[in-house]
Amino acid sequence: MAEENFQLRTYAFIDSMQPQFAAFLASELDGDVPLAKMSELWMELAPGSEVYNLLDVALKECDAKPGLQMVEREFGVLELHSFDLESVKDAGEIILKTCGLGISQRLKPKVVSSKIIHKVNPYQAQQINKTRKGTLLLPGKSLLVFEVEPAAYVVLAANEAEKSSNAQLVHFNPFGRFGRLFLSGSESEIETAKEASVAAIEGI
């Protein structure tokens, strides 16, 4: 398969999923249920239809479990997880080898925007709550709206923000043009979450 012209858009490895992050994913992903403290890998590749074969190759050679396999426009997205960190790393290496790629060839993510809304208005909170899948956004809390490109890298920002702060996970979306993350909390919690999110992306 190495003759294909592959593009590695996202290679996002998480060593230990945090409780809110893992619970959110477990409610959203269609495949095997991820749990807190599991390691996880997100990959986004082109051509998208190759993800079906790539996932199959990895699953035949390692013990990581799939939570997601989907094709969105021209890109395919995979998610694999396990309590065994090495199994997840092996899955990534197998897929990269099959594609003839290295991690260094992934696109470097960039922070598109990182904005804090202070003391959210009750009406604004209700608008966000209508579409959120995580914690309810309460009026008067501060809200971080964080955007990154490519979209799947937002998982790193979400998990690292939870590691570093007591912010509440309201919602995140790792698909589309931009990945978006919504976190709520006190002023200090959101400032800390913002710093951690930016560092997670800029550190790649």
Does residue 88 have a pLDDT over 90?
yes
Q: In Å, how far are 133, 144, 186 from 80, measured between CA atoms?
A: 21, 27, 33
Nearest alpha-carbon partner for 172 in 18, 28, 8: 28
pLDDT at 12: 97
Over residues 36-76, the pLDDT tens digits come to 999 999 999 988 889 999 999 999 999 999 999 999 877 89
Does residue 1 have a pLDDT over 80?
no
Q: Mean pLDDT across the chain, nearest whole number?
A: 95
Ordered by where they begin, the domains of the chain are 7-105 (3.30.70.1710), 110-202 (3.30.70.1710)
Q: In Å, how far are 42, 53, 96 from 34, measured between CA atoms?
A: 13, 22, 22
Q: Tokens 């990269």 label which residue?
A: 96
Over residues 170-204, the pLDDT tens digits come to 999 999 889 999 999 999 999 999 999 999 999 99
Nearest alpha-carbon partner for 116 in 186, 169, 35: 186
At residue 123, what are phi and psi to the nearest 5 degrees? -70, -40
Cβ atoms of 195 and 164 within 8 Å: the answer is yes
Cβ atoms of 166 and 142 within 8 Å: the answer is no
Percent of the chain that is helix, strand, coil (3-state, to 5): 40, 30, 30
Does residue 130 have a pLDDT over 80?
yes
Q: What's the whole-model pTM score?
A: 0.93
Over residues 4-45, the pLDDT tens digits come to 689 999 999 999 999 999 999 999 999 999 999 999 999 999
